[in-house]
Amino acid sequence: MGTLTLSLVIPSSGINQLPSKHYLQKPFSAIQKTDIGTLVVEPGGIELSHSPVDFFRYNSLLSSFVKNGSLKEAHGVFDEMPHRNEVSWATIISGYTRSGDYWKAFDLLDEMWEEGLRPNEFAMGSLIKASSGLKDVWIGRLLHGWWIRSGYGIDVYVETSLVTMYANVGCLSDARRVFDGVSVSCLNDGPLWNSIIAAYVLHECWTEAFELFSSMVSSGCVAPTKFTYACMISACTNAREENYGKLIHGMVIKNGELDDTMMGNSLVTFYAKCGMLQDSNRVFERIRTKSVVSWNSIIAGNEQNGEEEAAVDLFRRMVELGHSLQPNRITFLSVLSSVSKVSALNRGKEIHARLIKSFLEPETSISNSLITMYSKCKEVEKASLVFDRLPFKDMVTWNSMITGFDQNEQPERCLGLFKNMLLLGIKPDDHTYTAILAAVSSLPSEFRYVKLGKEIHGYILRRAVLNGVTTFTSNAILTMYAKSTLIENAEKVFKGMSEKDNYSWNAMMDGYSMNGRPEDSIKIFLDKHEKNLPFDYLTFSIVLTACGRLVSFNLGKQFHALTVKTISGCGKIHPNHLLSIDNSLISMYSKCGSISDAALVFSRMRRRDVFSWTAMITGYAHHGMAYESLEFFDRMKQDGVKPNSVTFLGLLAACSHAGLIKQGLRYFSSMNCDHNLNPSIEHYACMVDLFGRAGHFEKALEFVRSGSTQFNSVTGGCLSLWRVLLGACHAHQQLELGVSAAMKILELEPEDETTHILLSNLYSAKGMWEDAIRIRSLMREKGLKKDIGCSWLEAKSRRHLFVAGDVSHPQRKEIYMKLEEVNRRCRKTGYVPMTEYVLHDVDNLQKEAIVGCHSEKLAVSFALLQNGNGRKHGVIRVIKNLRICGDCHNWMKFTSSVENTDIIVRDSCRFHFFKDGICSCGDYW
């Protein structure tokens, strides 16, 4: 275009001192270049021609300022124009609409009317967008009505604006009515199709959006644009429509749009949210020009799919690119979340340092993430420092710090922070209550802490008089009572809830399971099933755990089948959720005596964490397969998984059950030296058990004294060490040390039934009948009762319970006949009753009669009646509430041989797997 000559007298003081009313409110040099030509200063000054024929030049200059976002300068030109036409008004109105000053756009409409001009299609389109921005459907309808009455007819630009406006104000049916009313000639307009597709995507009407897209493509009138594809990919992402998304991806490739950064970013997000992380990573690597959004999408995608380490590595790659690509707030939030989940403290500190350099640390959301990261990395003091330095704290800040103290087992500081919060007049929200109630439930089960939990419950009820307690908070109260062993209170909360969500049902199920009522946990599950309520991964994890606690192998298998069926029917499942279910299956099968099924689940897992490995290590330990347990620990380290304290409890239990003293000592010392884990009272108890079982009582006593000194504040914990030592003394008939251990326990807990019984049995084993009778008399005076030994098993979906000498079972006659038959066959192959295990002052015949009808023998005899002999009828599984005696253990070995049957007995200590006359424990238990 040619040269535009303007003239204006320039003051002698300089070009920057222009008249205040003039449209040039900044130095002339800043606007010398425009997209319509070059402004030239002539000797006479700068002057605008007032000729009507210069409308085009004025409007072009006005449009140039509007497009550059120089709205003030644009309005200056607009005010100085001697004549303005519809284009001039449309341009300035669009400028204010773009800037978000919607009311100013309508003020200009009034001025336009006063000048006797009517808005054209471009002005009308901008005004409709302004009403959309105001979310005012009334104004939008007025404009729509005026446009129809004006007789302008159908204009595709206006129709497109109307579709978008009606969609944005929530009137989807009106948007569709406008679209359906356009002429056939308008259907070749891409923006019109994009607007109606975007409308349905906005309202989450995925099916209709897909149908419209199909119509657009099949009509052949107009080709999809980048915006169309991006909109459809967003729909596929939110609807989790994997196949449709892949189809769109194919169309993008075919039309050569894949190199576009925005398109690549959309596909990265789509694949990540649909759980197809490999495809997401592949698309990301193929984006030629990666923006910050590209990196943010892939980092967040990996973090959301449980690949936190990969997310941290991607962040490292991004940082290595240098100043060409700087992480922003979204990047840091995603990577801090990943660091929190994997407890990568050093990496977290590096990110914190980078945040300080970027001046982003004082931002509240960033600091909240830092508090969470440090808390989860067990650096709660650093989290507290970030909290104290933060200039502005929101509710998330307070909740994060309260949760941090709770996670780091500092409930007292958690409660102190809650009190400070109340003193400052900050009103707690549902998340605050959840955190503080969790802290209360983790405190020792003392009356004052139970009272504190009830007080907080009362405070919540008083605060919620008008609106009631939310479901979220009710769930937290329910969980608090369940964890505090007040399951009856949890029941009342559950029954009193007006609305229950999935968490409510899960919390009640878990509460029953944790408090020794797994049968009620399963009843809740069945009640939920009858009401056709949805299940999630936690529901299945809890019910499988309940089956493990119930030691119900058959029921566990049925729930396993239901879990697989449900997961298969709901499509993709999040990797972390699948991992949780698999871990529950391993635990359930190992607790039900089927370590082979547990190993099968483990071998099929795509992903394993420390809980997966620990469940297998502990499972092998309790099945007497110590060397398999230790082998799994070595494999775990090779796999790069760090053990936790529970892993070492499993290892020490394995060593204890197999008498592996050297290995046990090595693992105990490596906890602190190699893995920075401090042994707990439970680990000391394992060491006492290890040496006690092996008969090394001096070493066992040494660990008791060492543990008692270190954990002096935990009275109950120290008593547990003496109890373990007493059990070992009972097994080895160490009278003097056993009596000493019993006296230590009874000094602090004089009402302990088990200690009285073990002490009485020690005296009986040594023939000291008077002392044994004295202890039994003392128990009667105190009102203490011995636990009745019982055994049970499942047969034909029913549980059958037996006690020693049981005569209550309907098939008692057949059971005793079968037992006599098995005894005869066992005696022929060398079985002799071990009467020394009868701790009563009676003759041998009576002792044989007593030992001959122990509960586990009756249970196995009943199972043989039901199943028949031979391995083809399956494994006999018996559970016993007390430790199996030596005679029953010996009898089981003979029975497994003569009946050609595998028998699994789970006593109070471990599993015994009897096969072909041999027990998995190697007679060391």
Q: Which of 171-180, 304-313, 461-470, 616-625 has the lowest mean pLDDT?
A: 461-470
pLDDT, tens only, 167-225: 888 888 888 888 888 777 677 787 888 888 888 888 888 888 888 888 888 877 788 88
Q: Which of 138-142, 278-282, 513-517, 824-828 has the lowest mean pLDDT?
A: 138-142
Q: Which residues contact 490 (CB under 8 A, 6 or more apart)?
A: 478, 479, 481, 482, 507, 508, 511
Q: Is the pLDDT of residue 858 over 90?
A: yes
Tell me the torsion sign for CA atoms 7, 11, 14, 15: negative
Rounded CA-CA distance 416/422 in Å is 10
pLDDT score at 69: 79
pLDDT score at 839: 59
pLDDT score at 41: 34
pLDDT score at 257: 66
pLDDT score at 695: 92
Q: Indicate the residue type of 205.
A: C
pLDDT score at 844: 65
pLDDT score at 16: 33
pLDDT score at 507: 94
Rounded CA-CA distance 735/763 in Å is 7
Reported as a pLDDT band with limits 50, 70 and 90, residue 667 is very high
pLDDT score at 97: 87
Q: Which residues contact 212 (CB under 8 A, 6 or more apart)?
A: 193, 196, 197, 200
pLDDT score at 55: 67
pLDDT score at 28: 28
Radius of gyration of the chain (CA): 39
Rounded CA-CA distance 450/705 in Å is 32
Q: Is the pLDDT of residue 86 over 60?
A: yes
pLDDT, tens only, 295-329: 999 999 999 888 888 999 999 999 888 777 888 88
pLDDT score at 583: 96
pLDDT score at 45: 36
Report which of 124, 114, 169 is spatially closest to residue 149, judged by C-alpha positions: 124
What is the DSSP secondary-structure string of 764-805?
HHTT-HHHHHHHHHHHHHHT--PPPPEEEEEETTEEEEEETT
Q: Is the pLDDT of residue 651 over 90?
A: yes
Mean pLDDT, residues 102-129 taken together: 84
Mean pLDDT, residues 815-828 taken together: 93
Reported as a pLDDT band with limits 50, 70 and 90, residue 857 is very high
Q: Which of 186-190, 569-573, 596-600, 879-883 has the lowest mean pLDDT?
A: 569-573
Longest alpha-carbon distance in the chain: 137
Report which of 645, 575, 634 is spatially closest to residue 611, judged by C-alpha positions: 645
Report which of 727, 716, 693, 840 is spatially closest to residue 446, judged by C-alpha positions: 716
pLDDT, tens only, 399-430: 999 999 988 888 889 889 999 999 998 989 88
Mean pLDDT, residues 369-380 taken together: 92
pLDDT, tens only, 684-726: 999 999 999 999 999 999 999 998 888 764 445 578 899 999 9
Q: Which residues contact 178 (CB under 8 A, 6 or more apart)?
A: 159, 162, 163, 166
Classify burial at 560, counting beta carbons within 10 Å of its beta carbon; exposed 0-12, middle 13-18, buried 19 or more. buried
Rounded CA-CA distance 744/721 in Å is 11
pLDDT score at 815: 93
pLDDT, tens only, 749-787: 888 888 988 888 888 888 888 888 898 888 888 888 877
Mean pLDDT, residues 872-896 taken together: 89
Q: Is the pLDDT of residue 541 over 90?
A: yes
pLDDT score at 840: 60
Rounded CA-CA distance 397/410 in Å is 17
Mean pLDDT, residues 833-838 taken together: 75
The whole-chain average pLDDT of the chain stands at: 84
Q: Is the pLDDT of residue 50 over 50?
A: no
Q: Indicate the residue type of 226.
A: K
Chain centre distance of CA 84: 62
pLDDT score at 861: 94
Mean pLDDT, residues 887-905 taken together: 93
CA triple 815-801-901, angle to 5 deg = 55
Q: Considering the chain, what percentage of its residues have pLDDT values greater than 70?
A: 89
Q: Global pTM?
A: 0.70
Q: Which residues contact 718 (CB under 8 A, 6 or more apart)?
A: 681, 707, 708, 711, 712
Q: Is the pLDDT of residue 10 over 70?
A: no
Integer angstrom CA distances of residue 801 from 215, 794, 875, 879: 68, 9, 18, 10
pLDDT score at 68: 80
Q: Which residue has the higher pLDDT, 815 or 440?
A: 815
Question: To which residue do tokens 């000048």 refer?
Answer: 115
Other CB atoms within 10 A of residue 526 CB: 10
- Reading the block at residue 836, the tokens are 């020394």
Supply the DSSP symbol for 83. S
Q: Is the pLDDT of residue 141 over 80?
A: yes
pLDDT score at 576: 81
